Structure formats: structure tokens, C-alpha cells
Structure 1
């Protein structure tokens, strides 16, 4: 029994709507179920992937009263995030109390489109009739700290791969700080691997290899491409961490956890440690629940833990649009049936009915007249407030536009100055240095193409080995200063000359 303060609840049902995967929690056991069914005694929860919502930190004046907080946050979210005014987004938020100042309060805001919620969960709703809570997935990681599985001290990073999504999340002292959807879902990893490998491999066999052998596969034909691919992934993750550290004033990340919905990936922690310089462990924890499988997606456990808190009266960011039906007496059909029964009973006693009905009509009329007067006063007040706010908003937007225009103008000037003083000399110096290096290996260049922070050298030599040695020399000599990439080296059959285009990115 899942009583948790509510004896009417029998089970917690955790749903992954993206994979049509369902688990039930009862008697401290988490078990997979093959089919969903409606039962009003079930507490039904699910999660929304990071790719399907926007997460941001916004600031609000401390002077805003509690009754106006929701409206103020929504208005700020529309302005700060540039949301489409024609769309009524689903906006949820939690406060970040540790950032509060004398003048400002800060809130983590989660924004989703109703259309996306319907596309993702309508098929599930048809089976269970309602979904009590839909959580923003990365937010649930806080339960790991609340269950004392991890110490709520320092900054921790979490990297999680799924078939259709992947995300990076940061928590500071056990509190949600930042999350971002990544472009490297398992599907994208598979496509990128095939691109690097030069031909398509069996998709299911590729996923099985990752799950069973990880990045240390025994298939030597795959090994080099996997190394290149995950090096690319963690360089991308490192760029995001650099941004997050700057945006949230993070001095360092103390620990990193990496995993996937299919289980730990062998070798993933070594890549995290190598490319991020952070000690890394598996994102795979013991939640002290009985289970019937060797591995269950971590977010089924975390959804259950969050659901237990909600049953006990705590509140979580909730994207659901699929609420439970109201009690019978609160439904229109229920009210109709009750009214009908009452009418029949009254009809059996006409005098009593006439007297009672006449009294009822008078009371209702008096109540409606009073309510009408109150509503008219409220409408007039609201219209005046809207007119005032619209005028203020128009003035603020004009000032913001002027400031943005001035900022963009100055930004372009500074970028141009920086590019001329720093990037151009750096590129020129790097190309001259490459010229000296090429002479050592008898490698020549026929063309240089300059593109922002990178350039492409069209190389040729009488020997493919010399070009290869030259590229390896550059990689070793300029480690962490440049990134080199060459798709292929080919031989001109007429001249016997080997050629290739080397792309160099200045880091």
C-alpha cells in the first residue's frame, strides 16, 4: 500500500511517455508493467525531457505581493525569454532562496508549449485518464541529496544520455542550479558514428555494444571512431560547463556523474575525467527499493521519490494539463443528477416544493445580483489596471529597445577592435609557425581559407606519411591551443602527389 498520508492511494505509477515504458511502486518495490489502465487509486507521474522545455533564472522585485507573484513571473518570463505573445505557455517555477538580496528574489523558471505536452502525453492520458504530475526531468536529481545518497556540499555535474535526448545538469549544495539539453542523444550519437565510420552499421547492434562493452569495445574497427566521437562530445560538454561556471560564478565543479537510461557506459568516466578535469562516477545509485531488473532508468526511482513528497503535501514544478476529474458532486453531470433527484422528490410534495423553490429562487437572485455588482466593480478595476500596465510596458519596452540598440552597436565596435588586435595577429602568427613546421616534413600548402576562428590548409606532399607525421606533430606541439581535423588524404594518380584539406580551429 502507498498510503503516505492518503489511504485512498494504492500505487504510484511512473511513466516514460517517450519510450512507452511503465513502472509501478507498491510495498517498496518498483516493478515494470506492460500495460496501463485507469484506476483512480493510482497516483500517476511522468517526466518531460530537457529538450521539450526551457529553463532559466529570472529576478523579481521583493516588493511584489504573493498574490501577484505568478503573474509577475509569467510576464517577466515572456519578456526575458522572448516568448511568442500569441502562445499561452505552461510556466512553472521554484525559488532560489540562496540568491535572494535585499531588493530581488530569484526563481528557476520552466517553460513548455501546450502543443508539445499534448503530443507527448495524449496517448498516455487516453489509457490512465489523468496524470497527477509531469516533472521537468533534471529537477528530480535533488532527491538524491534529500535521501542522503550524496552529500549536499559543493557543485556537482550530472550527464545523462537517452535515446531521444541528453542533458547536463548542475546542482550546488544539493539545490538545482542549471540544466541544458544536449545535441548528443543516443540517436544522434549513432548517426554521427556512422558518419565518422563511413558506412551505416546496424543500429540495435550499436546500442547493444554501448550497453555491454561501452567505449572499450573489442571491435578495433569501431574503437578509433568511438574515441573521436566521445572526444568531440566531451569537448562540447566542456564548452557548456565553461559558460555555466561564468554565468553562475562557479569556481570549480567538485564531482561529475555520467550515465544513461540504459545503464552505466563503460569508459565514460575516464573520458569525463580526461576532458573535463573532474573526478567522475557512474550516475547509478541505490534508492533502497526492491526491483526485478538489473537496471531501471534512474528517473523512475526519482519520480517515485518526488511523488511521495507530493502525496505528503509538498509542491513540485508540475507541467501536467491532465488533471483528475473532480468529485461527483462537483461535476456538471453530478449536479444535474442531484438536481433531478431533488426535483422528483419535491414534485411528490407540491406545496412544499412550491414554497421551497420560491425561496430558493429569491436567494439565488439576491446572490447573483450581489455577485454581478462585485464582478462589475472587479472588471472596471482590472481594466484600469491593464491600461496602466500596458502604458508602463510600452514605455519600458521602448527604453529596453534603445538600450539594446546601443549595446549591439558598442558590441559590434568592440568585436571588430578585438578581432583586428587579437584574432588576426594570432592567426597570422599561427600560420607562419605552421609554415616553419611544414618545411621540417617537406609538406607544402597550395591554399589557405580563413573562417572566423579557424582556417583550412590545402596540403600536398610526395608522401602520405609525411602529411600524417606533420599533423601528429602539430597536435602534440600545439596541444590545447588548436584542434585539427582532416577528412582524408588522397593521391593524384597522374602526378603521384598526396593531397588533403586540414581544418585547424584555434581554441
Structure 2
């Protein structure tokens, strides 16, 4: 059976002998004295904190997965000093830790098999099995998985039940610490009886707390309640001091307090006085319609936690030792029945199988022959088309090559024209520039020759300095255009003469 296909979740409260049933179609929860179940229903329950041992254990990261449970069990017996003569149910969660750490850390939830049997054996005849049994502190995790509470704060939960009370600390959506408190309603009734000197039943206590809270009209009786709750919150304060130091908790962001009878009026004043913080009720929007006022927060949290484990496939802490029976085909008897049936079917069907397969192959052969004729004709046609396309591609490639060569020639011609347009210095401009400089320096031009970008000038002057100044002037002011050089300056018949070579850049 696929567990997600359930219609109802049948929850057992073994401490009140009641069934809290969640109808998935109606999204509704109500209480029953008896419960009718079907094979598709999910069976779930919760287990008191005082019957649970919770501790963290570290092991080497090198331990293979197949040995994990045995190693954790062995270390639990050794480190927690468990009774070696008793058998324990151990469930665990792996805690997030630095991936580079050489160790892995696990949170172990432990209880005795004998306690589970004592609590649930009487209901097994009616229900047959339990898919889930959750320790109560683990139930609070659903407040974060369902996004009812934010997962970036540290929260303290305090809850009172008839036969148990507990506090639990969650940090950033993860369970950190829990402690069972002795101040259950049963203990409170006994303590008031002791203080008052006359018997006070648990029913009377619950009536007073649910009606008046901690604001009883009888002042004398109120003193007993005040004393008990003062002792309770001093005890809680001591536990918080220890927990903060042990788990590096800087501060508690919010405190939530409630009980199986709802909020106890006036208890928030004790939280403010002894813990120095405002306390809030379990006023959570569970998203479930509550059709019975006797449904407790624990019942609702158990349903939501069961949904998490079924629908969200969350890693769960599960104390059940009363497993759902496997499907018939998974049981030894079922496997034997299936084997016998399969043998009979094979024995009778073998001759028929041979005949039917021979006929089947003949039909398949005829169909394949027809299909081959069609496919072969199509193949020949496609090959012809492919060859034609290849020839066309070849022609196009040749045309592309011819056009490419033509474009390359055009490109080179354009480059030459561009070079002439941009970089070629007109001869007339060059000669005009030289004429101005020659006149400026009072030189006489005897001869001018030009080859490509080179000019040969033969000049004379009355003073050799005029020739050198002319060369210097061109060098300093027109070096970007011209490169001017001379081999020597000679004196002939009273005149200085020099052959200048000028190159255009």
C-alpha cells in the first residue's frame, strides 16, 4: 500500500483511552471512544517525554552506512549507561555539521521495548499495528516544517499533561533540548493535597485551572497554587541556565506555554516574573478544522507530524515496534501460494504458448516483408534525392569560391585606392613646401629630381649655415612628413653646395 493514499489518520491517545481521527477529505479532526479502521488508514500515536531518553552522540565519518545502527546502539549503551539486560527502541536523526569534520553527530531518541508494550499491547488487538509512534518533543518540529513558526529564532515550549509535563527548546527550526518536568497535573494534585491537608483530585485541579487559572477566588486555596507554580518556574529557570550554557544558546526569543486543557490564565505572569519574558499561548493556526473541543494541541501536532512523514517524506523519529503487516506477496506464505499458482499456470500454458508464438511469428514475418518493400522504395528515393542535393551543394561551393576570389581582388584594389587617397602626398604640395623653405633660408635650387616617394635636391648658399638650418627646420617641423639627409656640404667657387635626399613618410 502506498502510504500517501490514506483517507483517514487514526490517532490513539493511550493516556486518555481516546482516538483522535483526522478525515482527509473533510480536513477535520474529532475524538472517538472507539475507532473503525480500514486497510488504507494510517495508525499513529504519541509517547510521553518522561519515558524517552534523548541524547547526542558523535561517531567517525568513516563508519559505513550498513554498520551505522549497530555502532549507534553500542555507543548508546556505553555512553548513556543503558541497562544491558533491557531491550531498547532507538530512533535517530543526523544533525547538520561541518562537511569537513571528521565526525558525524546524531540525535538519539530512546525508550524501552517493555514500556512500549505496556502502553500499546492492549490496543494491538483492535488496531493491529501502528505506522508511527512519536516522542512528544519531536512533534513540535512540524510547527517549522509547516511554516507555522519562523525558523530563524530560538523558542522555548512548556506543556502540561495529566501524567507528564515537559519543556523543549528549538533553535532555527531544529530540536535542541528537552526535559521532562515533574509538575504534571497528577503531581500538582498530590502536592496541593499535601499542602492543604485534605485530598484534592486531579479532576478538581483541572476544573479549577480551566475555570479560574491562577486567579482562584478562594485566597487561601490560591496560596497553594501560587506556591506550586513558583516552585515550577524556579525549576524551569534552573534548567534554562543549564541548557543555555550546554548548548551555547544566547537567548530565548519567544516562550510558548499551554496544556491539554488549553491556556492556564495567569501563568504568563509567572513567566514574566521568573523567566523575565512574555509568554504566548499555543495559539497556532494548524490548518485543520477541530470538531471537538476536547482535541488537544498534542493531538493536532501528532496529525501534522504524521502528514510530514507521509507526504513530505521528512526524516522522522519513529518508536513503533508494531509494524504494518507486509502485503501478501511479500509474506513467506504469500510467496509460496504465488509460486504454486505460477507453476500451474506455466504447466497448462506451455503448449498453448508454443502454438501461439509460432502463429505470432508468421504474422510478424508477413508484416515485416510488406514493411520492407515500402521502406526499400523509400530508401532508394531518398538516396537519389541526397545525391542530387550533394551535386547542387558542390555547384554552389564552386560559385562561392569564384565570388570569393572576385571579392578579394576588388578588396585589394580598394585598399590600393584608399592608400593613394589617404597616405599619398601630392608631389605639387611637396614641391611647394620645399620652395617656401628654400626661399625662407635663402637657398638656390640648382636641380630637382623625383623617383616615387623620394626627392633629390641640389642647393647652393653663400653660407653653409643656411643649408644646415634648412635641414634642421625640416627635421623639427616636418619630420612626420619627410625624412631629410645629406652626405656633405662642399665649397666651390665661393659657394656652398649640397645634395639633399628627401623621403616622404
Say yes or no: TM over 0.5.
Answer: yes
- Superposed CA RMSD: 2.4
Contact 2:206 2:261 in 1 (8 A): no
Inter-partner Cα distance in structure 1 for 2:243 and 2:99: 19
Cα 1:140–1:100 change in 2 (3 A) is farther
1:321 alignment partner in structure 2:
321
Contact 2:31 2:294 in 1 (8 A): no
- Write the mapping of 1:61-100 to structure 2, written as runs, cut at 5 A: 61-98=60-97
1:405 alignment partner in structure 2:
none
Shift in Å, 1:98:
4.7
Inter-partner Cα distance in structure 1 for 2:340 and 2:325: 21
Inter-partner Cα distance in structure 2 for 1:175 and 1:349: 59
1:213 alignment partner in structure 2:
212
Deviations 1:335-367 (A, max 9, x none): 344455567778989999xxxxxxxxxxxxxxx
Cα 1:203–1:124 change in 2 (3 A) is same
Contact 1:39 1:128 in 2 (8 A): no
Contact 1:263 1:284 in 2 (8 A): no
> Is residue 2:5 matched to residue 1:24?
no
> Is residue 2:293 matched to residue 1:263?
no
2:170 alignment partner in structure 1:
171
Contact 1:11 1:42 in 2 (8 A): yes
Secondary structure at 2:44 match in 1: strand
Cα 1:211–1:336 change in 2 (3 A) is same
2:251 alignment partner in structure 1:
252
Secondary structure at 1:13 match in 2: strand
Inter-partner Cα distance in structure 1 for 2:280 and 2:269: 9
- Write the mapping of 1:103-182 to structure 2, written as runs, cut at 5 A: 103-182=102-181
Contact 1:264 1:284 in 2 (8 A): no
Deviations 1:312-352 (A, max 9, x none): 23330111011111111222332344455567778989999
Contact 1:57 1:106 in 2 (8 A): yes
303-312 or 134-143, larger mean C-alpha shift: 303-312
Inter-partner Cα distance in structure 2 for 1:85 and 1:202: 39
Inter-partner Cα distance in structure 2 for 1:247 and 1:100: 23
Cα 1:98–1:186 change in 2 (3 A) is farther
Contact 2:17 2:33 in 1 (8 A): no
Contact 1:38 1:127 in 2 (8 A): no
Contact 1:284 1:298 in 2 (8 A): no
Deviations 1:284-317 (A, max 9, x none): 3221211113452112211111211222233301
Cα 1:245–1:24 change in 2 (3 A) is same
295-304 or 135-144, larger mean C-alpha shift: 295-304
Please, which runs of 5 or more residues in structure 1 have no aligned partner? Answer: 353-507
Secondary structure at 1:97 match in 2: coil
Inter-partner Cα distance in structure 2 for 1:208 and 1:315: 39
Shift in Å, 1:8:
3.6
> Is residue 2:300 matched to residue 1:301?
yes
1:278 alignment partner in structure 2:
277
Shift in Å, 1:59:
1.3
Contact 1:254 1:279 in 2 (8 A): no
Cα 1:84–1:117 change in 2 (3 A) is same
What TM-score do the two structures reach when normalised by structure 2?
Answer: 0.65
2:291 alignment partner in structure 1:
292
1:394 alignment partner in structure 2:
none
Deviations 1:454-480 (A, max 9, x none): xxxxxxxxxxxxxxxxxxxxxxxxxxx
1:12 alignment partner in structure 2:
9
142-151 or 165-174, larger mean C-alpha shift: 142-151
Contact 1:12 1:304 in 2 (8 A): yes
Inter-partner Cα distance in structure 2 for 1:130 and 1:222: 46
Inter-partner Cα distance in structure 2 for 1:292 and 1:135: 23
Shift in Å, 1:80:
1.0
1:380 alignment partner in structure 2:
none
2:331 alignment partner in structure 1:
331
142-151 or 174-183, larger mean C-alpha shift: 142-151
Inter-partner Cα distance in structure 2 for 1:281 and 1:49: 23
Please, which runs of 5 or more residues in structure 2 have no aligned partner? Answer: 353-505
Cα 1:184–1:202 change in 2 (3 A) is closer
